[in-house]
A and B are shown apart, each in its own frame.
Chain A
Amino acid sequence: GAVVSQHPSWVICKSGTSVKIECRSLDFQATTMFWYRQFPKQSLMLMATSNEGSKATYEQGVEKDKFLINHASLTLSTLTVTSAHPEDSSFYICSAMVGGVAKNIQYFGAGTRLSVL
């Protein structure tokens, strides 16, 4: 199956700092990647859709200046949480969409647990 790597798996940072999370498709190219946020014992909420070579599409209520998304290559998308605050503490998980025979199935990374002190 398709493999998506997400790094780091866990990050603790001080309030006011910025944190970058990477999402890589290891064995396939992904023109589209997605970023989700998951609160404890809750479902995944889509934050934004990341398309290679173009600006990300953000869901309503998601601050694009706070959650910067860059999809510079077909195998890498990054999410930067700028000036993080304790309320940004959450589990962030990315997915990459596979084309071809297994068309349009999202494969997910292992997630990044962000704790802002």
Chain B
Amino acid sequence: AQKVTQAQTEISVVEKEDVTLDCVYETRDTTYYLFWYKQPPSGELVFLIRRNSFDEQNEISGRYSWNFQKSTSSFNFTITASQVVDSAVYFCALSEGGTGANNLFFGTGTRLTVIP
């Protein structure tokens, strides 16, 4: 059965510090997609990234970077030089199957607080 684990329930960092949010997943499928979403206090989920199981290249987008390692079934998310606006709940999610069109299974989320 599929499962997404975000062991860090809450993290607090001081502004400008780097922070890594961990995500470990379980699936029996050989093809799948992994996602990260951000949920600010306003409530809506903001799409950040999608990665398919065949692409293990790390990705960087501005202050955000993602490290996908199939060997450890992890898809970690790092924010460099954190800012107060980064304060939110971050969800990692898994979609099984080759199209990414299937249901999203979410982790329990990590609440990040960036202290000014």
Contact = CB atoms under 8 A, between A and B. Distances in A.
Interface of A: 1, 9, 32, 34, 41-44, 46, 49, 91, 93, 95, 97, 103-111, 113
A46 B99 contact: no
Given A43-B106, A43-B107, A108-B37, A32 B44 contact: no
Interface string B2-24: 00000000000000000000000
B43 A105 contact: no
Given A46-B104, A91-B43, A105-B100, 18 more contacts: A9-B43, A32-B101, A43-B91, A43-B106, A43-B107, A43-B109, A44-B45, A44-B91, A44-B104, A44-B106, A95-B45, A104-B95, A104-B100, A104-B101, A105-B50, A108-B45, A109-B44, A113-B43
B80 interface: no
Contacts of B107: 43
Contacts, number: 54
Top 8 A-B residue pairs of the complex, sorted by shortest distance between their CB atoms: A108-B45, A110-B44, A104-B100, A111-B43, A104-B101, A43-B106, A43-B108, A44-B106
B45 A42 contact: no
21 contacts: A34-B103, A34-B104, A41-B111, A42-B108, A42-B109, A43-B109, A44-B104, A95-B45, A103-B99, A103-B101, A104-B33, A104-B100, A105-B47, A106-B47, A106-B104, A107-B47, A108-B37, A108-B44, A110-B42, A110-B44, A113-B43
